[in-house]
Structure 1
């Protein structure tokens, strides 16, 4: 190329390059972003609600796993709350006498072995005296045995004397143990020779008290009823046709006055009630928080499992509608993710999920509306 022409072209090329570098990048950047598909999420799209463990606890959000196995239907019927038969104990007077102390009132908590009452009587004096006499005889027999052992070692007493002393010591100790056991069966010492203490057989709460201070009572008279109400029973009656579809271990849902709780069937009686000709059914539910009261009437749904069905069910409170679609909040490492689901039939307080969940997830089962509100806040921040 001609050197003169080359020298003329170099300045023009440099000017064009500088002009290109100073051009505004907005148009090209927008095109590139659109080509990559990195668009801003539209309002209403599911997002992740970032919450710490403390925030989840403060919001009262419970995390559970969905129920896998499916439900074929539910039997709705009335029922009654009763105390657990293994958790209710009648406290009776072991001997007759006069009540000189009552330490518990209705509703008060008791521990196992706590003194509930003290009875004063001649029989109590006899039992305590028998223990004291047996203790004295056992101490004397032990002293005699030691003396005979010493004399036998010194070759003063014959062997038959030490054998007799050993036998007497054994019999005295047996008599002492028997006297102590007889006293222990009545409740133990009540602070004086003529008194015994009546003690609580289990830990729980006093639910009945039929004793009055100073009252003269016979042996075996009922004084208190103590119940451990951490678990309660739900009793109901089914017609034989329905009872044939229920098995021990079946899930139930108990509802009353805004309260809801799940439990398990523990007994389906093989015998009809003679009066009603119905099948008694008993279920057990947790009552550690004192939610349910003995004698209360409730509504129960007995959930019937569908054989061979692997569908997933979640509590109704776990489902939230977002932009017209149902979502369930699945727990993540940083909070919860709103996962779209397809719903099936409703059974009691549960809803079948036909797609969207596998059953292995951990989901927000209560107060999920709080998470929905958190998503709304996130969307508002994104728009700002």
Structure 2
């Protein structure tokens, strides 16, 4: 691997030397390349760490283009994002008790109104709950009848007051028992004509976006039967670097684009904590979808405008200007003798540019294309010094 690297460096040195136009210089450069290939120091000046010495003619010959960083007062970020159902408008529909699915009244994509019965489950537990309601109702009727009789007898001074009090207590207890049985029915969502039938009703109006069960399937308590979403408003989910999150606030506008469609969303949630896995800041924006233009799960591009940070303007460079050298990101800054590999701290990419958080002032002239050639020349010099 070492010989291959040095051979490539030697070829680059020959190319650069060929551009000088001086025969003696060409011979020196060729001797230098041969020496580098043999593992001996060449004649290029790399005394300063990160310095690449090139003339103007050599820069033009190898196709290196120069430019300056883009300095803006705000800056934008282009980030991958996903359309999700609005957390406030999405609800899972499940059965509170186990049973067998005997009816599914809505299919995927169909609309449903709040309170409509969308599924029916047969369950022994449903039959037991309904039976308890019937028994409690019968006990209450008996207790009320007994209370009426005791009131009549007490008014005729036939029964003592103690019997009347006991009848009132029994009627009160029966009424409480009936209320408890009805509460169990309500909690389980039990409805329908059959004694063992459990009717599942829609808790919200919206559209069915998931139906993970099939007819005849036996489901456990709390198993998901449907997922209903009100898609008139959807959520846009994306992530920010922690440093960029400080320049974004709830209420900021986000431009959403995908497949010749575009719209604007407004940031409603900026997480105060990093995601433990990605180490990024989750962000959610709300997007009007009454026209049905956006689909849940769709991948889109979010363009986030960054606010100013204590008066500091954002600095961006083309992604082609950035290389990695010795484990750190560098940008090659033009000097009187060539280029200096300047370490930088990168931010998020925005299209074909990347934000520079530190390392550049924004006034430098840099190599916007051809930086890989400079990286190779820099590597040749470092290898020469190591030998």
TM-score category, normalised to shorter length: 0.5 to 0.7
TM-score, length-scaled by structure 2:
0.59
Q: Give the Å deviation of 1:163.
A: 1.2
1:267 to 259, 266, 269: 269
Secondary structure in structure 1 of the residue aligned to 2:169: helix
Q: Give the Å deviation of 1:300.
A: 1.4
Runs of 4+ in 1 over 4 A off after TM superposition: 305-309
Q: Which residue of 2 aligns with 1:110?
A: 112
Deviations 1:47-78 (A, max 9, x none): xxxxxxxxxxxxxxxxxxxxxxxx83433222
- Do the aligned residues in 1 keep the contact of 2:247 with 2:309 (CA within 8 Å)? no
When the two structures are aligned, how many residues end up with a matched partner?
240
Return the alpha-carbon distance in structure 1 between the equivalents of residues 156 and 305 of structure 2. 84
Q: Which residue of 2 aligns with 1:246?
A: 248
Q: Give the Å deviation of 1:115.
A: 1.0
Return the alpha-carbon distance in structure 1 between the equivalents of residues 181 and 232 of structure 2. 37
Q: Give the Å deviation of 1:305.
A: 4.8
Q: Give the Å deviation of 1:107.
A: 0.6
Q: Which residue of 1 aligns with 2:326?
A: none
Q: After superposition, where does 1:37-48 map in structure 2 within 5 Å?
A: none
Q: Which residue of 1 aligns with 2:179?
A: 177
Q: Which residue of 2 aligns with 1:293?
A: 295
- Do the aligned residues in 2 keep the contact of 1:186 with 1:197 (CA within 8 Å)? no
Secondary structure in structure 2 of the residue aligned to 1:301: strand
Q: Give the Å deviation of 1:256.
A: 1.6
1:135 to 134, 137, 151: 137
Return the alpha-carbon distance in structure 2 between the equivalents of residues 219 and 240 of structure 1. 41
Secondary structure in structure 1 of the residue aligned to 2:164: helix
Q: Give the Å deviation of 1:202.
A: 1.4
Q: Which residue of 2 aligns with 1:228?
A: 230
Return the alpha-carbon distance in structure 2 between the equivalents of residues 122 and 76 of structure 1. 56
Q: Give the Å deviation of 1:306.
A: 6.1
What 5-or-longer segments of structure 1 have no aligned partner? Answer: 1-70, 310-347, 349-384
Return the alpha-carbon distance in structure 1 between the equivalents of residues 238 and 217 of structure 2. 39
Secondary structure in structure 1 of the residue aligned to 2:74: strand
Larger Rg: 1
What 5-or-longer segments of structure 2 have no aligned partner? Answer: 1-72, 312-350, 352-387
TM-score, length-scaled by structure 1:
0.59
Secondary structure in structure 2 of the residue aligned to 1:197: strand
Distance 1:274-1:306 versus aligned 2 partners, 3 A rule: closer
Secondary structure in structure 2 of the residue aligned to 1:99: strand
Deviations 1:145-181 (A, max 9, x none): 1221222222222111111111111111111111111
Return the alpha-carbon distance in structure 2 between the equivalents of residues 267 and 96 of structure 1. 37
